Structure 1
Amino acid sequence: MLTRSPTLDHLYRLFPDSPDRPAAEVVSAADVPEPYHRLLVHTEHMTVTVEEFYGGPVDVRVLACRRDGDEYARKILLALRDGGRVVQFGLVRIDLGVCPPAVRDAIVEGKTPLGRVLIEHDMLRRIEPAGYLRVRLSAGMADWFAAPPGRETFGRLGVIYTGDRPAVEVLEILAPVR
């Protein structure tokens, strides 16, 4: 059963041997500075938000995934299609049992960002941020973002609902904005 208030610890437990785990602290929405505030403090899909901010489509790179029945989890990067620059890291846990077969298949296939799959199938559109994070990049995460380890960036935790039922838990960490 998915939770309505995921935490960094909760989602990283899905991939316990992750050397990329950053240091992070919970902050209020008011403490998220621009341009991160504009990128994180909203109820839209991050796929759309980062595409608008960077001016082009993003592709997903699945770093790791696991499945146990209808529970599916994955670690991903979103990268700009033009140039391949990584702009977001994500951890998600999804209840595939609430997804029609075409949505389930597209998610597990791992070729399309989750937000794009859900938008294209007009599914799971209520997004509720559950918290915001000030993040210090680990060495592994810094490599993905081409930034120095320890660099500050921001992220959010959230839940995507189908009706009143949590269907997706998500951690989204943005690349440091240059």
Structure 2
Amino acid sequence: MIYPEKSGERLHDMLGLAQAFFEPLAELGSITPVGESDLPGDYLTLLAHSGHMTITLEAWHESLVNVHVEGEVREPDRYARHSLLSRQSDGRVVQSGIMRIDLTGLPAEVRRQIEVGETPLGRILIRAELLREVELLALWRIAAGPRLARELDLPQGTIVHGRSARILVEGRPAVELLEIVRP
């Protein structure tokens, strides 16, 4: 459930997450919180759910996706990265995403796979059969800044949409996400 009264708090949290990889934030774009009713149909299907984005994108595009790490920050028990997901079928980038993970409590092999950066996060967690729950926190309309536009191969200023989400692993908040998709 998205709580509109928390949109300012959610924007602050999302900008903090993005700022580690998009400096200045204008490289990402102009961001506005929106409700589900503000999303065009394709974006509604892709973003307004509590499932793993990896699975959703692969079903939507009828292709497995690959991950391409664009930047990362490593700390002893925390890991953050900015990555792109592209279709295996033709290489087209379909998501720009940022994740921040609390690695404490994750099995060693899961931690290793996450830090190697060769497999999308959703696929790693699903294959490990960890109890997980994806919480949709907020939806966003973004006028793509120069870097986001390049990543998604769109003209600068193109309106795209994204979401903030959190993944609970074994009942514990473990992952914060910003996922911006291209239908």
SS in 2 for 1:148: coil
Partner of 1:84: 91
Cα distance in 2, alignment partners of residues 72 and 99 from structure 1: 12
Among 105, 113, 122, which residue is 2:120 paired with? Answer: 113
Partner of 1:132: 139
Among 21, 25, 30, which residue is 2:28 paired with? Answer: 21
Answer whether contact 2:132 2:170 (CA < 8 A) is retained. Answer: no
Pick the structure with more helix per residue: 2
Matched AA of 1:57: L
Number of residue pairs the alignment of both structures matches: 173
Aligned residues: percent identity? 37
Q: 1:71 to 1:146 in 2, by over 3 A?
A: same
Cα distance in 1, alignment partners of residues 120 and 24 from structure 2: 21
CA RMSD between the two structures: 1.7
Partner of 1:30: 37
Cα distance in 1, alignment partners of residues 96 and 21 from structure 2: 14
Cα distance in 2, alignment partners of residues 170 and 35 from structure 1: 20
Among 10, 13, 18, which residue is 1:12 paired with? Answer: 18
Answer whether contact 2:22 2:28 (CA < 8 A) is retained. Answer: no
Deviation per residue, 1:93-133 (Å, 9 max, x gap)? 00111210010000000000001101111125200011000
Q: 1:70 to 1:18 in 2, by over 3 A?
A: farther
Structure 1 position 164, deviation (Å): 3.7
Matched AA of 2:72: C
Among 43, 48, 51, which residue is 2:55 paired with? Answer: 48
Among 136, 142, 146, which residue is 2:149 paired with? Answer: 142
Q: Which consecutive residues of structure 2, in runs of 5 or more, have no partner in the other structure?
A: 1-8
Cα distance in 1, alignment partners of residues 160 and 92 from structure 2: 16
After TM superposition, the runs of 4+ consecutive aligned structure 1 residues lying more than 4 A away are: none
Structure 1 position 18, deviation (Å): 5.5
